[in-house]
């Protein structure tokens, strides 16, 4: 039951991230920062892609993804089409990885230490879903503030 819920939530929110990036009228505004807004929507998008490909793709599905977290926040002006492609590929990887799990594996220890103590796979997946939703809200707000 939880796995199906997580699949639906990740799919919904990655589709919404795609929609948010598509809705920018001026593509340059995807990368805009202003005052106390330190992270652009583009950088938040790269961060979400990196996060999900690392903790779901690599650690659960065994992909060869190599994360460069610093670049997620330092790269600029990547074309919208490339961001959309990264989102689509991430959605595919997440769905495939979750499809490899069954409910009994959710209680297993997550393969890497991410926080100050070990967590279950279930905890980590719920954390990743809420992390995605948190930054998705930031992207939405960023778009409405900067793309006027």
SS3 40: coil
Query: What local confidence, expressed as pLDDT, does residue 89 receive?
Result: 98
CATH code of 72's domain: 1.20.120.450
d(CA 75, CA 96): 28
Mean pLDDT of 79-93: 98
Enclosing domain of residue 74 = 2-146
- Does the pLDDT at position 37 exceed 90? no
How many structural domains does the chain have? Answer: 1
Task: Give the pLDDT band (50/70/90) at residue 101.
Answer: very high
Q: How far is CA 88 from CA 16, 31, 83, 110, in A?
A: 11, 20, 9, 25
For the full predicted model, state whether its pTM sits above 0.85.
yes
């Amino acid at each position: 039951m939880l796995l199906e819920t997580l699949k639906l939530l990740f799919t919904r929110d990655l589709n919404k991230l795609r929609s948010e990036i598509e809705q920018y009228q001026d593509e340059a505004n995807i990368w805009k920062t202003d005052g106390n807004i330190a992270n652009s929507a583009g950088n938040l998008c790269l961060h979400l892609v990196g996060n999900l490909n690392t903790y779901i793709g690599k650690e659960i599905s065994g992909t060869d993804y190599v994360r460069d977290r610093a670049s997620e926040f330092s790269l600029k002006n990547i074309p919208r089409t490339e961001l959309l492609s990264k989102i689509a590929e991430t959605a595919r990887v997440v769905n495939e990885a979750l499809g490899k799990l069954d409910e009994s594996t959710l209680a297993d220890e997550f393969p890497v230490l991410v926080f100050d103590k070990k967590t279950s796979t279930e905890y980590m997946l719920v954390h990743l879903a809420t992390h995605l939703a948190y930054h998705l809200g930031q992207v939405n707000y960023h778009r409405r503030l900067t793309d006027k």
